[in-house]
Every structure is written in C-alpha cells, then in structure tokens.
C-alpha cells in the first residue's frame, strides 16, 4: 500500500526514479536540481536502490552516459536544469534520434547571462525541437507520478521524456505526495525490455553515418536514408498522445490518479476568458480565476501538461467557445513572442479557425514572483481589447521592471 509523505519536488523526482528501479544514473549537480542526484546517490550507497551511479564531470557527459547505457539495455535516469540542459543540447538531439527511452526531470530555471538560479521555463522551451516528449508538472504529486508514467510511455515509444517542473517553486517546496508501494509500481512498470540485445555473433554499428537516399543492404533490401529515420520519429510523436492517454488509463487503474487529459482544466467550460499556461503557474492562475469570478468575470484556466507532442486538437477544442485568451508563460522566443502563444495560435488556426483575442503575457522570468492578483489586470485587458476590436502586436512583459 502507498503512503503519504511530505516531499520537495526534487525528493519526489528522486523517489520516482527509485520506484522505477532505474539501473544507471548519471547526473551532474546544478541548482535547483542538485538534491536529486544527492538523494539518489544516498539510495545507491545505502543499497536501497541497485543501480550504477556515474558521478560524471558535466551534463554533456551525463547524457553521454545515459545514451550509451540505454543503448545496451539499461533503464537510465538523469536530471538537470538551465545551463546544464543547454550544455546537453547536442546530446538531446542524439538521444531522440537514437530512439532511447531516457527519462530526465528538469527543475526549470532561467538561463544566463546575466546569471539567475531562479525559476522560469526558458531552459526546456529552448529544447522544444530536440525530439523529446515534454511533460510539465503543476505540483509535487505530478512530479512523482509523471516520472513513473514517463518510463511507461518512453519505453513503448522509444522516445526520451523530460519531466519539467518549476525550480524552487516545486523543487524546494514541500507538499504532501501520495507515494505508491514498490509492488504497485512494479506491477505498473515491468522491467525494461530493450528492442534488441547485443550479440557478438551478430554485431551491429549503432547510429552510423547514413546517406540522404535509401541504400540497399547486402541482401538488396532498401534501408532508410536520414529523412526516413527522422520521419519515423515524427510519426511516432504524432501518435504519441494516444499512447500517453492509454498509459494514463493504466496509471489511473493502478494508482487512482488520472492523467488521461493532456490539459489541466479549471472552470474553463463556460469561461469567456481563459488563461493558457504551463506548470505551477496553473495553480496561481486558478486563484486568479476565482478572484475574477468573484468580480463577475467568467474566467478559467487551461494548463498544458503535455507540451510535446503538442495537443493542438485538444487545446483548440478546449477553447472553442472562448472569447479571449491570455497566454501567460515564463519563456519567450526572443524577437517574437512566447512559444506557447505561437503554438496556441497555430492550433486555433489549424483546427477550428476560431479566433478569440489571444494576448501573450511574459511573466516570472528569473524567478520574478507572480501573484494571483497580478493576473487580474491582463484578463480585463483582453476583455477590453475584445470590445474595442484591438489585437496585441507584441507580448506584454509583466514584472514591474525598471
């Protein structure tokens, strides 16, 4: 039977990895993730977890270790944040291209320069196009659950998954977390069955140079060129939402908590104005929605839990009757607008042609505090703009900055 523990987000992530019986861990400490490798190294040294812990000298090597350990059939784990994630960048492409079911929590943190150790989502949003699945967490329960869920999904699809959660706001905040028993997790997540096994009699050259066009093997069978391999990755990501939902269904049967919906929804069904956001901001904005409702404004929240694959159809459907949308996010594609904003507009354009007023608010960069009351004004701004038929040209930065 499970039990409820009071855990930080980092402890929840480490405990999730332990419950998944990860076999190889390679991690380099970076604030605010450092506690994850610390806790895991203690599990390993106390023999509570049977795993190889490789205390690497960098994040680039952490992912290098994970890639090669996964290639020979081990269930692997790492965790990072911010510049550590950026330092891994080429390895992230490599891991996805090599189709390896690596699971990596990221304690979201802003990127230098100038240095900040505090939270925003610029780090993981910047890795959007690496071919990884990205789950975002709203609280510590979701961190633990989504680490476990991530292995279930990743090992079916052979696609790596980042489990992203706000640095400090979740990584260092204690919350009650229902922790399932080892037997329950074992029943949900059997040991990793690699798609092939090494055989000295049938040697293979893994991740070699490929040509642009299909080439025949010695028997004359045409084998894929570069685009063939990459198309398969895209196709599997396109069908990944169904796999995530199916795994979510089994998760619900096993643990009673539901992850069927790629979105978190709060009062969004009848809302005139909906906040679209990610991560723990969804909690803050739920309070904002309550404040707005008290003021007679029908506000709601849609939190994007699965950012890659992007749930475009579900999201467009969720906003079908909405008049105005305020996209509130802690990241920006410099020179344009927030990535979530762009992707939401694309989803609306592609899937229902519905054109609510979509305004973008950049908040909370480098740990800037975001209070629920801070987001009341943006909601009113969107509604006013609707009346006046005004559209937003550039994202608005909320932060009382000089």
Partner 1 sequence: MSTAILDLPEQEFVMPGTRTCAGCGLPIAYRYILKALGPKTIVTLPACCLTILHGIYPKTPIAINAVNNTFASTAASASGLVAGLKATGQDDYTVLAMAGDGGTFDMGIQALSGAAERETNFIYVCYDNEAYMNTGVQRSSATPTGAFTTTTPVIPKEQPKKDFIQIMEAHHPAYLATTCSSYPGDLYNKFVKAKAITGTRFIHLSIPCPAGWGYPTKDTIKIGRLAVETGVVVLYEVEDGNMRLTGKTLSIARSGRKRPAEEYLKLQSRFKKMLPEQAEVFQRQIDTRWEQLLQRAGI
State which residue, 94 or 397, has the beta carbon closest to partner 1: 94
Question: Smaller CB distance to partner 1: residue 79 or 281?
Answer: 79
Looking at the Cβ atoms of 90 and 183, the one nearer to partner 1 is 90
Least distance CB 14 / partner 1 (angstroms): 18
Which C-beta is closer to partner 1: that of 24 or that of 363?
Answer: 24
Q: Minimal distance in Å, beta carbon 253 to partner 1?
A: 29
Kindly give, in sequence order, each residue whose CB lies less than 8 Å from that of residue 375, ignoring residues fewer than 6 positions away. Answer: 275, 284, 285, 288, 326, 328, 361, 363, 398
CA torsion, points 135, 139, 144, 146, in degrees to nearest 10?
-20
Q: List, as one string, the DSSP characters of 100-164.
A: ---EEEEEE-PPPSSP--S--SHHHHTTGGGS-EEEE-SSHHHHHHHHHHHHHHHHHHT--EEEE
List phi, psi (to 5°) of 161: -130, 130
- Smaller CB separation from partner 1, 223 or 390: 223
Instruction: Look at strands 215-216 and 175-179 and give their pairing.
Output: unpaired
Distance CA 62, CA 380 (A): 46
In angstroms, what is the minimal distance from the CB of 35 to partner 1?
22
* Residues at the contact surface with partner 1, assessed by CB under 8 A: 23-24, 26, 51-52, 54-58, 60-74, 76, 90-91, 94, 198-201, 203-211, 215-218, 223
Distance CA 327, CA 274 (A): 8
Residue with Cβ nearer partner 1 (6 or 72): 72
* Residue 331 and residue 363 in contact, taking contact as beta carbons nearer than 8 Å: no
């Amino acid at each position: 039977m499970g039990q409820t523990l009071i855990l930080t987000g980092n402890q929840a992530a480490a405990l999730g990895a332990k419950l998944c019986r990860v076999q190889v861990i390679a991690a380099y400490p970076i604030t605010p993730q450092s506690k994850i490798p610390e806790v895991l190294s203690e599990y390993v040294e106390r023999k509570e977890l049977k795993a190889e812990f490789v205390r690497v000298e960098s994040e680039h090597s952490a992912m290098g270790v994970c890639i090669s350990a996964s290639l020979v059939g081990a269930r692997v784990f790492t965790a990072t944040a911010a510049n550590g994630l950026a330092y891994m960048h080429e390895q992230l492409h490599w891991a996805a291209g090599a189709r390896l079911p690596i699971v990596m929590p990221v304690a979201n943190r802003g990127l230098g320069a100038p240095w900040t150790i505090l939270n925003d989502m610029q780090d993981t949003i910047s890795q959007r196009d690496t071919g990884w699945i990205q789950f975002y967490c709203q609280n510590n329960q979701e961190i633990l659950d989504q680490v476990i869920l991530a292995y279930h999904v990743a090992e079916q699809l052979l696609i790596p998954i980042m489990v992203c959660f706000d640095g400090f706001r979740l990584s260092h905040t204690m919350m009650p977390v229902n922790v399932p028993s080892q037997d329950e997790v074992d029943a949900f997540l059997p040991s990793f069955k690699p798609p092939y096994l090494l055989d000295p009699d049938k040697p293979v050259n893994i991740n070699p140079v490929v040509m642009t066009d299909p080439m025949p093997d010695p028997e004359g069978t045409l084998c894929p060129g570069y685009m063939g391999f990459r198309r398969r990755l895209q196709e599997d990501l396109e069908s990944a939402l169904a796999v995530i939902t199916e795994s979510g269904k089994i998760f619900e049967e096993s643990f009673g908590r539901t992850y069927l919906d790629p979105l978190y929804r709060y009062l969004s069904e009848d809302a005139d104005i909906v906040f679209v956001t990610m991560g723990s901001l969804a909690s803050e904005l739920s309070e904002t929605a309550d404040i707005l409702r008290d003021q007679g404004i029908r506000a709601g929240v849609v939190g994007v839990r699965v950012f890659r694959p992007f749930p475009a159809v579900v999201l467009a459907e969720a906003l079908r009757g909405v008049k105005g949308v305020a996209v509130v996010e802690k990241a920006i594609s410099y020179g344009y607008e927030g990535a979530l904003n762009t992707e939401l507009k694309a989803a609306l354009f592609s899937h229902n042609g519905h054109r609510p007023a979509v305004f973008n608010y950049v908040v909370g960069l480098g740990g800037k505090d975001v209070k629920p009351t801070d987001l009341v004004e943006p909601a009113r701004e969107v509604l006013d703009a609707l009346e006046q038929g005004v559209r937003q040209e550039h994202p608005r930065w909320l932060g009382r900055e000089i």
